[in-house]
Structure 1
Amino acid sequence: MKTNIYVNNEKFITGMTLKDGAEPESNNMAIHACENPTNVVENRKKLAASLHCGLETFVCSNQTHSANFHRVTLDDKGRGAERMDTAIADTDALYTYEPNLLLCSFTADCVPVIFYNEVNGLIGVIHSGWQGTVKEITSKLFKHLTQVEHCSPRDIHVQIGAALSQEKFEVDEDVYLKFKDLGYADDFMYYNDQTRKYHIDNQQTVKKQCELAGIPTEQITIDQTCTYMSPDGFSYRQDKHSGRHLSFIMKKCD
């Protein structure tokens, strides 16, 4: 099973599963976008085994391209792990202080954001497609963590996972204007005269949102893999029936 492990130390393990032709449905991890849910559950069980945890530790949400987030508690353990109807509803970001819970986010071309706070042990995942980016889900969550959870953004480390590259992210003027209205994304867009399309770097826009929230630039890492161009990537833009990667983080036992 192909998995990109970003961090694996005494406190945290974070990573992102990859497309893998040797696995059922090429290692698809999403029940909401699969041919057979049994295949997805088997793939998740293999991932759990590789991470030395059980499927019951997974916490999944029903992602709707919203700006909604949820603080995960032990009562949420196992939600969405085997069935969609138990997933946390209408939510695109999860965070928790609890150890031994695997927070999950599902993406094809969208931007996955994985983060942890080294000081207080807070962890989280964010699903930020272009709709989530223009709704500023990342900005809103980090503002909440600063104001309500009293986290210092200077203690937060961010991993931005593989996503659709700027070269392959072509949009019309309506989407371009939504990014322009943010007021800080101009450097991450260009216009192609030949195709009359705009190209947007969603990863860099999300990185800017992290920086504006006070997270030090040197604590933000970007996986440059393009989900469209890489053979390891699921791309909805390339294949409307694509599976999904699973980006994850777990805080290890205190």
Structure 2
Amino acid sequence: MKTKIYIDNEKFVAGTTLKDGTAPEHNNMAFHACVNPETVLENRKRLATFLQCNPKDFVCASQTHSANLHKVTLADKGRGAVVGATAIPDTDALYTTEPNLLLCSFTADCVPVIFYNEVNGIVGVIHSGWQGTVKEITLKVFERLKKEEGCDPSDFHVQLGMALSQEKFEVDEDVYVKFKALGYADEFIYFNEATNKYHIDNQKTVEKQLKLAGIPENQIDVDRTCTYVSSDGFSYRQDKQAGRHASFIMKKCN
């Protein structure tokens, strides 16, 4: 199983699956972007074996580039894991305090945000494509965790997964205007006069949002691998038929 592990200790395991030319559908993990759902299920079974869990321990959302967050309970175990239609609807961020649930986020260029908080026993994932970023999903998630779960932002540790680089994320003025309106993304934008396109670093914008949320810089790790350039990456920009990575985290114990 071609996988990059970011965290693996006695309390948490977190990482991302990688594109693999030798695997069925290149190790695609997403039902919504597959040729054959059975292939995705087989890939997920291999991931579960690698992580020493069960595919039915997975919890998946139907991602819609929203700013919606869902608190996962034991009743959600297995949602979207084996049948895509059972995924948690219209949701792009998941968190839980329960152990032995593998929370998943699916990306091919978008920014995956993986986080944990040892003090409150919380783990979670966020899917932040550019639309989620301009909706400030990451800021909203941590604001809600502060209000509803009593979390101190300084207790969070965050991993940003591989995503589309600024060089490869070129957009027209309509998208530029939305990032500009955030008021803090200017340093992550440049204009290419030759192509009349703007280039935006979505990953660094999300990183800025984490800092604005109060998460200490030394507790934010960033995987700067470009999904477009790397052979390990699925890129929707490069290939509209691309599969998806699964970025994941699981709390191992109470």
Q: TM range, normalised to the smaller chain?
A: over 0.9
Tell me if 1:47 matches 2:47: yes
Name the CA distance, whole Å, in 1 between partners of 2:207 and 2:118. 19
Structure-to-structure mapping, 1:4-153, within 5 angstroms? 4-153=4-153
**Equivalent residue number for residue 219 of structure 1:** 219
2:233 counterpart SS class: coil
**Equivalent residue number for residue 197 of structure 1:** 197
Tell me if 1:186 matches 2:183: no
Q: Deviations over 1:9-46 (max 9, x none)?
A: 11100000000011110000000000000000000000
**1:91 alignment partner AA:** T
In structure 1, list runs of 5 or more residues that go unmatched.
none
Q: Deviations over 1:155-179 (max 9, x none)?
A: 0000000000000000001100100
Tell me if 1:210 matches 2:226: no
Runs of 4+ in 1 over 2 A off after TM superposition: none
1:15 counterpart SS class: strand
Q: CA deviation at 1:136?
A: 0.4
Alignment length (residue pairs): 254
Name the CA distance, whole Å, in 2 between partners of 1:221 and 1:193. 33
**1:241 alignment partner AA:** Q
Cα RMSD, aligned residues only: 0.5
TM-score, length-scaled by structure 2: 0.99
Calculate percent identity across the aligned residue pairs.
72
**2:47 alignment partner AA:** L
**2:152 alignment partner AA:** S
Q: CA deviation at 1:121?
A: 1.3
Name the CA distance, whole Å, in 1 between partners of 2:184 and 2:69. 23
Q: CA deviation at 1:63?
A: 0.2
1:154 counterpart SS class: helix
Name the CA distance, whole Å, in 2 between partners of 1:146 and 1:239. 38
Name the CA distance, whole Å, in 2 between partners of 1:253 and 1:24. 32
Name the CA distance, whole Å, in 2 between partners of 1:40 and 1:250. 20
**Equivalent residue number for residue 237 of structure 1:** 237
Q: CA deviation at 1:253?
A: 1.9
Q: CA deviation at 1:189?
A: 0.5
2:149 counterpart SS class: coil
Q: CA deviation at 1:225?
A: 0.5
Q: Deviations over 1:134-169 (max 9, x none)?
A: 000000010000111110000000000000000000
**1:154 alignment partner AA:** S
**1:39 alignment partner AA:** T
**1:38 alignment partner AA:** E
TM-score, length-scaled by structure 1: 0.99
Q: CA deviation at 1:85?
A: 1.1
**2:3 alignment partner AA:** T
Name the CA distance, whole Å, in 1 between partners of 2:22 and 2:38. 16
**2:99 alignment partner AA:** P
Name the CA distance, whole Å, in 2 between partners of 1:120 and 1:8. 19
Q: CA deviation at 1:235?
A: 0.3
Name the CA distance, whole Å, in 2 between partners of 1:208 and 1:224. 15
